[in-house]
Amino acid sequence: MSQMTFECAYKFFCLTKEFMHSISDLPFASIAFRDWGKGFWLRAMQRPSIASMPLETFRQELKRMHKFHKALGRVMLVSEYYNFWEADERVGRPARG
């Protein structure tokens, strides 16, 4: 390690950070797929980002869903999300920015 340059160390840090970030989200991805199904998440990813405002990690997505369900007073079913998304597409949303 004493021979490592700053540039090399920085690149190593960046790679490690990305790798660890991905690994740390694995338990949340597992929960997301178990509780909602892969089809749900694939369909969610196909939604326009202006409407869905995707977050970076499954942990963040699950946290947002938890807050939404808490405010709603119940957990929405997958079919209810699909109906909501379809209605949202029909109505459309003004551009954010």
- Residue-wise pLDDT for 15-43, tens only, equals 777 777 667 888 888 999 999 999 999 99
pLDDT (0 to 100) of residue 91 = 82
Domain boundaries, the chain: 6-91
Provide the CA 84 distance to its chain's centre, in angstroms. 18
pLDDT (0 to 100) of residue 21 = 66
How many CB atoms within 10 Å of residue 66? Answer: 11
DSSP label of 47: S
Query: Could you write out the DSSP letters of every residue in 62-84?
Result: HHHHHHHHHHHTSPPPHHHHHHH
Write the pLDDT tens digit of every residue in 73-93. Answer: 999 999 999 999 999 888 876
Provide the CA 29 distance to its chain's centre, in angstroms. 9
